[in-house]
């Protein structure tokens, strides 16, 4: 799997401390800058302030759930282009469809395969980088 070319930031939003630690260690080991938030409101603030390349977002959290966070991220101009991957224990067909329709790039369920998670994060980070690369202007035109 390709290593990130620079320390792209990945924001992990989950209310389970062991998930923050486990996934955070995996991402850091793969060369990502890891930011963590233990609830949706904190995740939104960090997304606005740090503008990470990728957000890994849990669905079930107190106060502000993952779909509410996703809706707000995709509504706001400064965060709508951040790639969001749902990473949650709940994965019914309707939940997956709903999240994708609201703007999630993909949906992974816990327990997850670390290689699959890292591959999806790498793809999402590449997508984010491509969206932020300005085309070279042909000076001859």
Q: What is the pTM of this model?
A: 0.88
Domain residue ranges of the chain, discontinuous segments joined by +: 9-129
* CA dist list (Å): 113 to 6, 26, 36: 24, 11, 20
Per-residue pLDDT at 67: 95
- For 19-55, the pLDDT digits (tens) are 999 999 999 999 999 999 999 999 999 999 999 999 9
β-strands 9-13, 33-37 pairing: parallel
CATH superfamily of 9-129: Response regulator (3.40.50.2300)
Look at residue 109 and give its three-state secondary structure.
strand
DSSP calls for 23-47:
HHHHHHHTT-EEEEESSHHHHHHHH
């Amino acid at each position: 799997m390709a290593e990130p070319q620079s320390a792209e930031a990945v924001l992990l939003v989950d209310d389970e401390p062991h998930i923050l630690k486990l996934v955070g260690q995996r991402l850091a080991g793969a060369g990502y800058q890891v930011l963590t938030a233990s609830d949706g409101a904190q995740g939104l603030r960090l997304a606005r302030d740090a503008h990470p390349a990728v957000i890994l977002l849990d669905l079930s959290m107190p106060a502000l759930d993952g779909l509410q966070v996703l809706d707000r991220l995709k509504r706001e101009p400064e965060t709508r282009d951040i790639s969001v991957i749902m990473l949650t224990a709940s994965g019914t067909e309707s939940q997956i469809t709903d999240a994708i329709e609201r703007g999630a790039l993909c949906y992974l369920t816990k327990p997850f395969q670390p290689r699959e998670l890292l591959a999806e994060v790498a793809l999402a980070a590449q997508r984010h980088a491509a969206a932020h690369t300005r085309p070279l202007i042909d000076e001859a035109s």
